[in-house]
Amino acid sequence: MVSLHVLEDVLGWLSVLVGAGIMYFVDAPFIDPLLSIGISAFILFNVYRNIRRSLRIILQGSPDLVSIDEVEKTVMAIENVHSVHDLHIWSVDGEYNVLTIHVVLSAPLPMAKLHSLKTELREKLLSLDIQHSTIEFEAPDEDCEMEECC
């Protein structure tokens, strides 16, 4: 973000310098407004891109680089996982990705096995560029109010 601002300043300064040099030697008064319009268009284009990216983060949209289908497929491939629902992925700042998920188990598991399953899930999710995950395990016969919403 800062480097873009510096680039805009440098390009603006360079354009003014070159434009002034041309107008000094050649009678071309149209160069000044033409350069102003060009610089303004460049800045507006970058503002639009930044606003789009910022709104996606503020509205908690899914990150572009993380595939929800791939995440679901990866979780489903792990032993003792029967199904998943209430899967949400969003980005905090455009780089740090967060996930919440309900994982329905194939069968009830002891606490030590649940701990190792959660560790395995977090490692797999980290490899998919998800840095923070909140995982809720559910028994196969447990009713979840969230199951029908997603």
In this prediction, residue 147 carries a pLDDT of 54
Are the beta carbons of 81 and 125 closer than 8 angstroms?
no
pTM recorded for the entire structure = 0.72
pLDDT, one tens digit per residue, over 67-112 is 999 999 999 999 999 999 999 999 998 899 999 999 999 999 999 9
Asked if the model's pLDDT at residue 149 lies above 70, the reply is no
Quick check: 74 and 109 in contact, CB under 8 A?
Answer: no
**What one-character DSSP code corresponds to residue 54?**
H
